[in-house]
Copies of this chain bind each other. A is one copy, B any other.
Amino acid sequence: MTRVIFLGDSFVQGVGDPEHRGWVGRVLQATGGAVTGFNLGIRRNTSEDVLRRCWPEVEARVVPDEDNRLVVSFGSNDMVEENGTVRVAADRCVANLASLLQESALRGIPVLVVGPPPVIDAGAAHLRRTVDLAAAMAGLCAARNVPFVATTEALAADPVWTSEALARDGAHPGAGGYRRLAELVLAGGWPGWISG
């Protein structure tokens, strides 16, 4: 019995999906088999917020000697500007990811990282920051031999994702956008990781 815990923000949570399963539910459905998913996405969460709460929440969900896994996705909220500064600086966000990867390795829990989706109505500067952050995350993951799924640029250029986000709250897509993000994950490191 494989247990996959998904840690992150509103995109992990699937906010805006009328079917209430987001990309996480769609990836699990496509995976099939005996996989139990735990969705620990929380809207507005930055990497700091995730790090603050994650280990007690993970501990309540892992079972010793079972196949426990972790999927992590954050960063879009870190890069949002509030009162003239970003909520969490990029180097801090990458350090938070490094800390999370290290702790997971100590606990023997394999990790897959999904890059930060774009926040469509947050403007070009936010997109540039998020693209740069995603590149830094990808570099860290490569160095740690952790699979990383890039999403930022593909979704920013995706007409379904962008039109759905703009028709809603400017950030969160509907079923079509989450389907597209699920496809990126399934076409990325997921299949090899989940069966490895």
> With contacts A20-B37, A36-B15 known, is A42 near B60, CB below 8 A?
yes
The distance in angstroms between the C-alpha atoms of A131 and B140, with both chains bound, is 53
Q: How many copies does the complex hold?
A: 2
**In the complex the two chains form, is B25's CB within 8 Å of A20's CB?**
yes
From B28, B32, B53, contact of A60 by CB (8 A): B53
A122-163 interface code vs B (CB 8 A; 1 in, 0 out): 000000000000000000000000000000000000000000
**In the complex the two chains form, is B20's CB within 8 Å of A21's CB?**
yes
**In the complex the two chains form, is A20's CB within 8 Å of B15's CB?**
no
Q: Report the interface size for chain A: residues with CB under 8 A from the other chain.
A: 25
Interface centre among A15, A20, A24, A52, by most chain B C-beta atoms within 10 angstroms, is A20
**In the complex the two chains form, is B53's CB within 8 Å of A38's CB?**
no
The distance in angstroms between the C-alpha atoms of A52 and B59, with both chains bound, is 12
> With contacts A21-B20, A53-B60 known, is A42 near B37, CB below 8 A?
no
**In the complex the two chains form, is B42's CB within 8 Å of A38's CB?**
yes
CB nearest neighbor in B for A63: B44
Whether A82 is near chain B, meaning CB under 8 Å from some CB there, is no
The distance in angstroms between the C-alpha atoms of A191 and B74, with both chains bound, is 34
CB nearest neighbor in B for A24: B20
Whether A104 is near chain B, meaning CB under 8 Å from some CB there, is no
Q: 4 shortest A-B CB distances, which residue pairs?
A: A20-B25, A21-B21, A20-B28, A53-B60
Q: Give the B-binding residues of A (Cβ under 8 A).
A: 13, 15, 18-21, 24-26, 28-29, 32, 36-39, 42-43, 49, 52-53, 56-57, 60-61
Given contacts A19-B29, A53-B60, 9 further A-B contacts (CB under 8 A): A13-B36, A18-B32, A19-B25, A20-B37, A21-B21, A38-B42, A39-B39, A42-B61, A57-B60
